[in-house]
Structure formats: C-alpha cells, structure tokens
Amino acid sequence: MKHKLYILSAALMASAVSSDAFAYATPIYSKSRDIGELLYKPSISYNNDVIESPGWKGNWFVGSNGGINAFLGTPMGCNDLGGRIKGQFGINAGKWFTPTVGSRVSFNGYWLKGADSRTQDGWGISSEILWNLTNSLYGTHESNRFGLVPYLGVGMLHNRQAQTNPFALSYGVIAQYGITSRLKLNLELGCKTTFSDFDGAGTPNRFGGDNILSLSAGVSFTLGSTGFRKVVDARPVMLDNSRLRELCLSLSDENDRLSRKSSNDARIVAELKKILEIEGLLSRYGNIFNNESDNGDVVRAYPVNDYSGLNSLRARLKGANNDYSSKMLKELEGLDDIDDEIDFIDNILNDTPADSLSGLAHGVNKDVSPKPVDISDGDSYLAMIQSGKQCIGSPIFFFFDLGTTNLTDRSQLVNLDEIVRVAKQYGLKLRVTGAADSDTGTSEINHRLGNDRADYIISQLQERGISTSLITKINRGGIDRFNPGEANRHCKIELFLTAK
C-alpha cells in the first residue's frame, strides 16, 4: 500500500506540474478587452480651438473688381440717387492670418458727381481688417463654399479736380463663393466716409459730410498654401501612453512571477524523474517529460484513451467462452499488484479530462449515487458485458459549446480515431448519447441540441468508416447530472460487444 501511495504521489505531482505548464503557456492576462482597446489604433481627434497656419508662405490673395458708386455729399446737390451713379474699379491684395481674421490693401479709381453735378475723378487707397463671419459662426470646413466677410479700415482719398487728399474711413461687407480652393467670386458692398470738402464744396474740417457708396463684383485668387491645418489633440494619445506604460509594468511583473514558477517547476520535474528512475518506471512514463516543442514552448497533446485494458478484457472473455475453470478466474482476479498500480497511474498521467465516468465522478451532483460494479465478481461483470447490458470500460465524452454543435476543443476528435480503430478491430457496437444543459434553454431547444450533437458525432463516425447498423442513437435532451453545468453539454460514446 505504501508503495502504491508513493508512486501515486509522484504521478500526481508530475501531472500537476504538466498542467500548470500548459496553463501558463497561454496568455493569462484577464483584461483582454482593455488590451484590445489599447492596441487598437485610436481615431484621430482634433483641437477645435487651435489651428496651424502655414506661415507667411500661405493664404495670400490678390483680387480685382469693377462696379458702380454714388457720391452722397454735403451739400447734396440737385441730382437724385440714380443721377449720381458712376463707375469705379479696384485692385487689392492681402492675407488671411487665421480662418476668421485677415487684412488687405485696396486701391480704387473713381468717377463721381459732386454737388455741382459735374463729373469728378480721383482715387483712394486703404488698409482694411477682414473678419470671416461664416467661419467664425460655423467653423472651418472644406465643404463650405459661401462666405460673408465684413471689413473695416482707414485710408486716404484724392480728388483730382478739387485737389483734396482727405483721410477716409472704409467699411463694408463682401459675399464670397468659392469656385475652387483658390479661385473665389466676390460681391462687395462698401462705403468710404471722409471730410465734407472732399468735392471742393462743403464745410472744411468737418468729418462725415461726404460719402462714396459702392457696389462691385470681382474675383480673387489665393497664392501659396491654402487653408489651415487642424491641430491633433494629444490628450487621448497621452492617456493611452500612460495606460500602456502601466500595462507593460504589470505584464513585466507577471512575466517575472511566471519565470520564477517555471524554474521551480523545472526543479520539481527533475526530482520526479529521479523518483521514477529509482522505481524503474522512467522508460514507461518518460514521455510525460517530453511535451516541449522545438522553440521551448509547452505543448499539451490532447489525451488519447489507452485501450490496453480493453485488450486484456477481450482475452478474459475469450477464456470465459472456453469454459475456464474457477481456478483460472481466481488467477485473473489475483493479478500482480504492480499491474493494478500501473493501470491506475496510466489513467492519471493520461489526464483523462472527463472522458470517462471516473473523471467526472468529482463533478456528479451529490444526490446522484452511481452504483459501483463489483469487479471481484468476475462471472457477473463479464456476463453483463457479454449480454450487451454493460458497456466495455467507461464511456468517452465529447463536450460542446453552449447552444451549438461545436466541440469545445477540436482535439477531442483524436479520441474518435482510436474508438473507430478498436471498434473495427473487435467488431464492437457503439451507443451514441446526446445531451444538453437543462439550466439553459427550453426543453424543446435542449431536445433539439441533444439530437443534433448525437447526429454530429455519428456523422464523424461514419466518415471514419463505421456502419450505421452498428450505431445506436439516444437523445437525453436537457440534463443536470453533472456539476459544473458545462459538463452536461456533451455527447458520449459507449462500446458494447456484438451479441453472439
């Protein structure tokens, strides 16, 4: 008994170390959603309050216009507004410093009628501040073609007939339509206010008496770079960088912890190899220490059922059919203890993951008490198997995702290859039972799931060459036999002897 416990302890430790190695070979960071958000390229956001100007090389413009004007002076004279209309022309050049603020210098030539109704001519020059009201109210958008630009400036006028050069206040509004990003059409309504004696009549040194009201149309062309670039808002990027630094530190600490654990596991494995070597079992179980790929990563192969016990059982049944004596049965019952120990350890090291009833024994609900089979009663046990009332060995379970016929791990299909091989070799019948978790879904859904899961496994068996006549299908629908509930989402295969 001590010998068995000693070997069992070594086997359990080896299995635990192997399982831990596999578990920690996969990513363990639980906040996968946060990592995904951090690694995903964020959308670029801009600071609406800050723009970047191209400097002095961009947003210069030149323009020209032509139109009409009406001189409104003091004294007014005898002509009405229509009789005062004359022509004018102008050229201008300027620059936009921001999307809303710019300036320009304008030169205008005039023909006008003074108080004595005689035609006079002259010119004026002014410097003006421009304010783009549209961009100020609605922001800068490339799709905006219309603009409304009020302006205000100061300058000087010259009257060639009266030989006056008074100071003038210039103001008005420009309506713009952008044909392209550089070319714009302009419609300008403006006015220049100056001293009353501009036309040679009126009170000297009285500001505001004479006004030139004008309406003109023209074009303007932008030179150099056009538009303004928005400044990227760096605050979200800085926040992401801060979170990434914290994540890197956290992962670095986790890597250090796993490295220490891996080193400790390696020492444990080395000690276990020594134990198995001393017991003479290293050649039999040495393969559990070779689960590493060429790059050093831990690889855990899905366990494959060992059918050596089935072969032994077939030999016993053959002996029973030949009327073995009770002495022979006693010898079969009294197998060497070391064989029992090795078979027991085989099951542990193969790490049968709920692919047998024994593996699920810890998960069965407490109110379900499975009835043990008395193996010592050889005649009864063998008779049940021979009669087809008892399956050979334990059922093999295949587990599915919630609400689907998708296996939780496709590697489980490896078991089907072994089942088919044994069934073909010994002519065994198979019973396929589908089930679902009764805690989820309605009874109709669970009944359908149980049937579909059984059909899926049967189709896999047929693809591997098992005849439909050798397969019996059972649908359990929703069950709550196992705990946790995920274990109820399964399909199991049982092997039976063909009735003689």
Average pLDDT of the segment spanning 250-264: 90
pTM confidence score: 0.43
Q: Are residues 378 and 405 in the same domain?
A: yes
Element (H, E) at 329: helix 326-333
Residue that is last in its domain, among 186, 210, 231: 231
Pairing of strands 85-96, 60-72: antiparallel
Any domain includes 296: no
Any domain includes 54: yes
CA-CA distance, 377 to 290, in Å (whole number)? Answer: 40
Residue 430: which CATH number?
A: 3.30.1330.60
Q: What is the DSSP letter of 149?
A: E
- Ranges 31-45, 67-81, 107-121, 316-330, most confident: 107-121
Q: Are residues 73 and 220 in the same domain?
A: yes
Any domain includes 3: no
- Measured CA angle at 428 (ends 454, 407), to 5 deg: 30
What is each CA distance from 24 to 114, 210, 294, in whole angstroms?
A: 98, 91, 18
Q: Are residues 248 and 370 in the same domain?
A: no
Q: What is the DSSP letter of 407?
A: B
Q: Are residues 169 and 128 in the same domain?
A: yes
Higher per-residue pLDDT: 82 or 375: 82
Q: Are residues 180 and 245 in the same domain?
A: no
Any domain includes 450: yes
Any domain includes 66: yes
Any domain includes 152: yes
Q: Are residues 333 and 457 in the same domain?
A: yes
Instruction: Locate the DSSP E strands across 240-331.
Output: none
Residue that is last in its domain, among 231, 251, 279: 231
CA-CA distance, 349 to 272, in Å (whole number)? Answer: 13
Q: At what angle do helices 308-321 and 326-333 cross, to 10 degrees?
A: 170
| Least confident range of 41-55, 98-112, 289-303 | 289-303
- Measured CA angle at 178 (ends 172, 182), to 5 deg: 105
Look-up of token digits 């399982």? 19
State the greatest distance between any 2 C-alpha atoms of the chain, in Å, as a whole number.
Answer: 151
Q: Are residues 347 and 313 in the same domain?
A: yes
Q: Are residues 240 and 224 in the same domain?
A: no
Domain count, the chain: 3
Residue 64: which CATH number?
A: 2.40.160.20
Residue 40's pLDDT is 58
Q: Are residues 268 and 400 in the same domain?
A: no
**3-class SS string, 283-294:** HHHHHHHCCECC
Write out pLDDT tens, residues 283-318. 767 666 665 544 555 444 444 455 555 666 666 666
| Short-list 450, 451, 426, 454, CA closest to 440 | 450
CA-CA distance, 493 to 396, in Å (whole number)? Answer: 5
**pLDDT band per the 50, 70, 90 thresholds, residue 327:** very low
Q: Are residues 484 and 383 in the same domain?
A: yes
Residue 494's pLDDT is 92
DSSP string, 50-119: EEE--GGGBSEEEEEEEEEEEEE-SS--S--TGGGEEEEEEEEEEEESSSSEEEEEEEEEEEEE-TTS-E
Residue 361's pLDDT is 38
Average pLDDT of the segment spanning 429-440: 91
The pair of three-digit structure tokens given for residue 483, joined into one six-digit string = 């705990």
Write out pLDDT tens, residues 465-495. 998 888 999 999 999 888 888 889 999 999 9
Amino acid sitting at position 93: A
Indicate the burial class of 143 (C-beta count within 10 angstroms; 0-12, 13-18, 19 or more). exposed
CA-CA distance, 360 to 479, in Å (whole number)? Answer: 15
CA-CA distance, 315 to 348, in Å (whole number)? Answer: 24
DSSP string, 11-64: HHHHHHHHHHHHHHHS---S-HHHHHHHHSPPPP-EEEEEEE--GGGBSEEEEE
Any domain includes 259: yes
CB 67 within 8 A of CB 45: no
**pLDDT band per the 50, 70, 90 thresholds, residue 170:** very high
Residue that is last in its domain, among 184, 199, 231: 231
Percent of the chain with pLDDT over 90: 30
| Short-list 61, 69, 63, CA closest to 109 | 69
Mean pLDDT across the chain: 77
Residue range(s) defining the domain that contains residue 325: 303-496
Q: Are residues 210 and 126 in the same domain?
A: yes
Any domain includes 392: yes
Is residue 152 pLDDT above 80, yes or no? yes
CA-CA distance, 310 to 312, in Å (whole number)? Answer: 5
Q: Are residues 324 and 180 in the same domain?
A: no
- 382's CB contacts (< 8 A; 6+ apart) are 316, 317, 320
Sheet holding 429-437, edge to edge: 396-399, 490-496, 429-437, 471-479
